[in-house]
Structures are given as C-alpha cells and as structure tokens.
Amino acid sequence: MNSADSRASIEELHSSSKRIVVVGGGLAGSLEGLFLAKRLGSSYEIRIYEKREDPRLHEGDSGRSINLALSTRGLTALDKVGLSEEVSSQGVPMYGRGIHHSNGQFEIQPYGLSKKGEFLTSISRHVLNCILLNACERAGVNLCFKKACSSIDLANNILYFEESESLALNSSFESTEQDIPWEFDNVSSKFIESEIQRTSDVSFNVNMVKADVIVGADGVFSRVRQILENCTKAKFNYSQVYLPTCYKELTINPTASGSYAMYPNCLHIWPRGRFMLIALPNSDGSFTCTLFMDEDGYAVSFKNIETNEQLLNLFSTYFKDVIPLIPDLLNQYFHSPLSFLLYTQCEPYHFKNNIVLIGDAAHAIVPFYGQGCNLAFEDCRILDELIELHCGKWFDVLQHFSQSRKSNADVIARLALENYLEMAQKTSSRLFLLRKRIQITFSEWFPNTFPSLYRLVSFTNVPYRDAVSLVEKGNSALRKYLICSLCVTTLASFYWIKCLWRTN
C-alpha cells in the first residue's frame, strides 16, 4: 500500500460524518442502499461496496443466472422507491405455467385469479441490477466496485476492503483467505497487509472504512456472515445444504423476424419426473432456459451426458419440440457451466446494534417457488418500515428484523423445496390438475375461507408463515365440509333406500 492510499484510508477512520456501509452491490444490496438513501440520506452517508466490477459496463454473464419472476412482494418494495413502473416496462408478464407434456400437448395453467388478472413479471437479473444501481447513483449513494470485504473489526466497526484489478481471477488469494486466522476484536492494517503480500503477482490496496451500521448483502457465500460465524462472541448459527439437482442455462433466440419463438406470456415447463426444463421470456424476444437434473446417480443425469450423441438423444426423447428452437444446442450446452443449488439458514440475522444480514446472505433458498429475489426485496422493505417504526434506534430495529424475518424465511425455504416436486412431476398429472382446479374454484368462490397458498405467496404481502397458517385452516375447514357432506349424503341414501323398501 503506498503512502497516499494509506493516508486516504486513515482519513476514512477519522471522518466525523455518520456512515452506513452496504457490503454487496447485487439486487438486495443495491435496493437496500436505495431505501437507506431515501430514508436516511440527509443524516447518513450511504456507501455500497461490491467485489465485482460495475455490471453496467458489460452485458450480463450467461450460464449462472436463472431469470427472475417478480411477484407482488418484490414489486411492492420497488414501488416504495419509485421503480415498479420502470422495472415492469423492462419485464414480460407471465399469466401462468405453460406445460409441455411428453405427448406433445401444450396447456396453460393460470397462476392467480382470472378476474384479477394476476401475473408474474419475468426479467433479467442483469437488467434489474443495472436499473437499481442507476437509481442508487441518482439518490446520492456512493458506489465502490472491485472492493472485496476481507475482514471486519467488530469492536470498532471498521471494515477492511481489498482492491485489485484481477481479484476474481486470483485463485491463489482465494485459497489463502480461508486460512487466515482473523483476530476480529483487534484487527490491524499491518496484519492484513502482510497476508495480502503473499500474492505478489497482483497489486492490492487495503481500504479501512469506519461505519456506524453495516448491512451484509453479499450473497450466498457472504463474507460478512462468515465473519460473524467465526466470531465466538456472536453466538451465531449457520448451516448450508447442497441439492443433488444442478442446472445448465440455455437460450432460445428470437425468430428471424425478431418475434418470440413460443407464446411469451407464461413460464414454460417441460416436466419429466426427476428432471425438467423451464423457459422464461425476455423483453428482447428471447427465452432464458434452465435445465434441471441430478448431477449423478440416475440414468438421466449431467454426468451421463458427455457426447453430442448423448445430448441429442436426451432432447429427442424428452424435449423434442425444443430442438428446432435452439439450432446451436450442442455448442450452448457444452459451453454452459454446470451450476449447483443450495440453501442456507442462519440465526440471528444481526449482531448487536450495527450489523444486519439481508437477502441470500441471511437466507439463500432454491429457485423453485420464484421467491428468492422477492424475499430479498421484502427484507429491504421490512427493514425500512422498522427503521421508521423504531425511529432509527438500531438495536430495536435489527433485533425486531431478526425475529420477524427468520421464521418467514424458513417457511418459504421449505415451500421452495417442496415446489420442485410439483413443477417436475405433478404439473403433468391429471389428478393433480383436477385438484388444482377444485382449489382455484373454491378460492374464487370463497377467497377468505379457502385461500390458495400459491396466490397468498405470490400475489399478496401476507407473511409467509401466516399464509401457510391460513391455508391449513382452510384445508381443515374443507375437510370438515367434505366429511359432513359425505355423512349427509350417506344418511340420505340410507333413508331413501329404507323408504323404497317400505313402499315395496
């Protein structure tokens, strides 16, 4: 670190202005920075630190980004910061699931109540992130890219950020970072600098930043969360589980005339039991497809698709109608990285009165209910409401946030896991479809007595935990109604038979 950088870093520590630092400039981090700027921008300096380069400088990376399906929870949060219309204009409405059956038939299963015109909005993660970052800049948020959080002095609320032109490519540093015995209560800049010098092929600078409040929004492999986990004084619990299911991303490009190759206003699903293909529409006329399969252990798995012939055999057997839609299927498939799915849980979501985790840093979930982004955006909205409720008393704000969000995040995490079975297997079952139609009919006739779980989750802001409770009460009432109806019908039948017998 040169002397000029050192002086600048030290000046950061002695700054008299109050500061909130958001670690992570992805979807949750950028929206949270915007909420904070609008709520507290007059009394706090708001900064966002992101380890990647500015995503607005290039097109989105393909292969590791399942498209987003924004629902009411996410749009409500965006509306509070004045972005719902702009985001909706960049998305494509999806009114239901478009099921491609193995026999070639296609049908649409509506999402919500037909009279209300309820739909999800499909949008690219990259496009949404760029919209949020632009809004942050307009609101006066300071955006700092290519700065990775390496450590936090929890006693003094000082963050240490490493800067490098090739940080993401330096695998030797990543492996070293996990072995550093961080002393969280007394971190010195000399200690960190000496560790960084192990990777002499890249020039690093260390920035020390004093913060009054730290928001960890740095994703599923959150460094802020790791620091809290490794600090014994935090009494912090954490767990993660990898699914056997993995995925690859493919693209269906627009037709020669620039139009969609399939009906655009639905989420297309090819359910095939233990595996499935989905496709979400983009505003440019393309579809982002995601192939979900187990990595190994079954005849149809990623490990068993290593040649062109094996891939073509898979698609000609199970996804025959997709082959003409992706002329470069072979090239796309074998150049698309294999990505893994996991979900995480931790508790609590905060540390004392100055650190809080939101989004995937607090609760990463699998994508099968389309609620990961919506859950993160709801975090931002709830945190903003709690800041207002508790008049900025951070201890009360963060404690209340942890207590209220933990139980709801656990519920939607479970529902997301269960929904994979529904998407991959049950959507092609006639018995399942009949039951769904009955549920939708009862929900439309008696919405307060027999609410639909999917509708409560996707088209309302009812807390996830309360949504499950309401549906369980409705199911219990429905069972009692059916049992009573059966008993009355049985008694009436016996009475009718008895009358006939007496007549004869």
The CATH number given to whatever domain includes residue 315 is 3.30.9
In a domain, 66, yes or no: no
145 with 216, same domain? yes
CATH number at residue 37: 3.50.50.60
358 with 218, same domain? yes
38 closest CA partner among 132, 157, 147, 158? 132
In a domain, 174, yes or no: yes
208 with 311, same domain? no
119 with 161, same domain? no
336 with 253, same domain? yes
Q: Tally the domains of the chain.
A: 3
Give the long-range contacts of residues 315-324, CB within 8 A, separation 24 or more. 318/102, 318/270, 318/272, 318/275, 319/100, 319/270, 319/277, 320/104, 321/100, 321/104, 322/252, 322/270, 322/277, 322/289
Res 184: pLDDT: 31
Res 86: pLDDT: 97
217 with 351, same domain? yes
Contact 249, 289 (CB under 8 A): yes
What 3-state DSSP class applies to 445? helix
Three-class SS string for 58-126?
Answer: CCCCCCCCCCEEECHHHHHHHHHCCCHHHHHHCCEEECEEEEECCCCCEEEEECCCHHHCCCEEEECHH
Residue 218: its H or E element: none
In a domain, 366, yes or no: yes
Q: Which domain holds residue 219?
A: 3-57+125-238+346-416
40 with 108, same domain? no
Question: What pTM value is reported for the model?
Answer: 0.84
> pLDDT 10s per residue in the chain (504 long)?
454 454 445 445 555 579 999 999 999 999 999 999 999 989 999 999 999 999 999 876 554 567 899 999 999 999 999 999 999 999 999 999 999 999 999 999 888 765 667 899 999 999 999 999 999 999 999 999 999 999 999 999 999 999 865 444 333 333 333 332 333 333 333 333 333 333 333 445 778 999 999 999 999 999 999 999 998 676 899 999 999 999 999 999 999 999 999 999 999 999 998 899 999 999 999 999 999 999 998 999 999 999 999 999 999 999 999 999 999 999 999 999 999 999 999 999 999 999 999 999 999 999 999 999 999 999 999 999 999 999 989 999 999 999 999 999 999 999 999 887 666 656 556 666 666 666 666 666 766 667 788 889 999 999 999 999 988 876 666 666 667 777 777 777 777 776 777 776
168 with 208, same domain? yes
350 with 312, same domain? no
89 closest CA partner among 128, 58, 138? 128
In a domain, 68, yes or no: no
In a domain, 81, yes or no: no
In a domain, 89, yes or no: no
Res 63: pLDDT: 47
Taking phi over 0 as left and psi of -120 to 50 as alpha, with beta for the rest, 127 belongs to alpha
Task: Select from 340, 364, 386 the last residue of a domain.
Answer: 340
111 with 247, same domain? yes
In a domain, 117, yes or no: yes
168 with 234, same domain? yes
What residues form DSSP beta bridges with 425? none
Residue 380: CB atoms within 10 A of its CB come to: 28
What residues form DSSP beta bridges with 109? 97
Task: Select from 306, 340, 374 the last residue of a domain.
Answer: 340
Give the long-range contacts of residues 465-469, CB within 8 A, separation 24 or more. 465/407, 465/408, 465/411, 467/411, 468/411, 468/415
What residues form DSSP beta bridges with 110? 96
Eight-class DSSP state of 141:
P
49 with 165, same domain? yes
Res 379: pLDDT: 98
In a domain, 197, yes or no: yes
68 closest CA partner among 132, 128, 131, 133? 128
Res 173: pLDDT: 30
Q: In what order do the strands lie in the sheet with 213-216?
A: 142-145, 45-50, 19-23, 213-216, 355-357, 350-351
Res 488: pLDDT: 77
Task: Select from 296, 315, 340 the last residue of a domain.
Answer: 340
Contact 419, 432 (CB under 8 A): no
